[in-house]
Amino acid sequence: MARSFKLPDLGEGIHEAEIIEVLVSVGDEVEEGDNVLVAETDKAAVEIPSPYTAEVTGIEVEVGQIVNTGDVIMVFSGEGDQEAVQEEVEKGEAEKERKEKPSPEKVKAGEEEEEKAPVSVDKKRKGPIPASPATRRLARELGVDLQHVPPSGDAGRVTSDDVRAFAEQPEAEREPAAREARPQAEGMPEFIPGGHLPTLPDFSKWGEVERVPLRSVRRATARQMALSWSQVPHVNHQDEVDITELERFRKEHKAEIEEQGGKLTPTVFAMKAVIVALKKFPRFNASLDPESEEIILKDYYHIGVAVDTDRGLLVPVIRDADQKSITQLSIELFELAQRTREGKASLDDLQGGTFSITNIGVLGGKSFFPIINFPEVAILGMARAQWKPVIRKDGDGDWITEPRYMLPLMMAFDHRVVDGADAARFMNVVKESLRNPANLLFTM
């Protein structure tokens, strides 16, 4: 019989993807392992290979469609015909519709118990909320977060009627229902992405507008930043460091690094300086588990570096950065950044970071306040280095004024895990490493 191909598991915590390219057509013969689709998750674009050597007899998705893990995306020839597969697709859709449409008994029961409190979700429930693609699409259109909708479907499945009923509730009634549906960890404020905001005005009455879907990387960034800002008490620490000698050293050696396929940037030195500080202050290389009230200290140093791409800001990770020389880091970071900009970074490239660095120096700006890459504890920001007149003592102890190359540094940290004094000490270690390149020479 014809064989169906369902969207496979694309990684931990990823349950849906947007189809951005279909690489084959009906009638094409493909080999097992040939790429047939490109799907974009909230982390990366992923090429999906064929599991069969066979003829493509059906394509069940189109570009721009959001599909969930387990949905049929393609059909391949087999020992029979495509009827069985088509029956499977139709059966799946019918099952979704059946679960979404309440039975007469449920409708009657709902009318009789109209005054009762809404059904709550199991308090231990975690992970994705069971709902069909149509229900998810409706929730997005109505601005409803499925995590807070009391379900009426089988096995806790949220239906379209549940979404509409929740969206029509007055704010006063919606708030307790949301709290009941998804209780927060003790001592943690409630996080409702984009929820309870005033309805936007009709902007089109003042002029032409264009609506662009908030998809993939941009959507993931919005969620991640809202989560981090709402859950983590951010504190910012600012300073600047004299990198005159470091810049002289960088210029002397950048050509030889380029010959080896790398790029010697200030970020590379910052990575090494950060690792020195992380080893002295391990709470900056940690995550907080509020449910167990534990700080998770990590004995590895995977440094994330923010990369500006056409798809949005992504943070690929250099693994075991403490075990690599400045030359190795220069090459690996350059190659990883290139893959990320080209959309070729793997999911593994974008996961598992313990501390992040973001450098906007090439774009300009004197300072900024970065947002922590949750669930990390801190992030280091770098702005544009500039020549400034600096008053300092010379070798004879006399005060002099001379131009020095000064680099602004900004660090945001989680005040639940570390304090301001810790941040100042951490930053001083980073500054000392950057101020004296001889401290990092042994890693070349």
Query: Quick one: CA torsion of 265, 268, 270, 272, rounded to 10 degrees?
Result: -150
DSSP 205-217: GGS--------HH
Query: Quick one: CA torsion of 407, 413, 419, 424, rounded to 10 degrees?
Result: -10
Q: Please report, in angstroms and rounded to a whole number, the separation of the first and last CA atoms in the chain.
A: 60
**Phi-psi region for residue 438, left (φ > 0), alpha (ψ -120 to 50) or beta?**
alpha
The answer to whether residues 305 and 337 touch, using CB atoms and an 8 Å cutoff, is yes
Candidates 175, 164, 160, 162; CA nearest to 119 is 162
**415 included as an active-site residue:** yes
How far is it, in rounded angstroms, from Cα 98 to Cα 105? 14
The residue whose two tokens read 């080209």 is 342
In the 3-class helix/strand/coil scheme, how is 32-99 assigned residue by residue? CCCEEEEEECCCCEEEEECCCCEEEEEECCCCCCEEECCCEEEEECCCCCCHHHHHHHHHHHHHHHHH
Bridging pattern class, strands 45-49 and 35-40: antiparallel
What is the 8-class DSSP label of residue 317? E
How far is it, in rounded angstroms, from Cα 251 to Cα 327? 14
Beta bridge partners of 357: 305, 380
The active-site residue, picked from 15, 234, 253, 415, is 415
Question: What Rg do the C-alpha atoms of the chain give, in angstroms?
Answer: 27
Bridging pattern class, strands 312-314 and 317-318: unpaired
How far is it, in rounded angstroms, from Cα 27 to Cα 57? 6
Task: Provide the annotated active-site residues.
Answer: 415
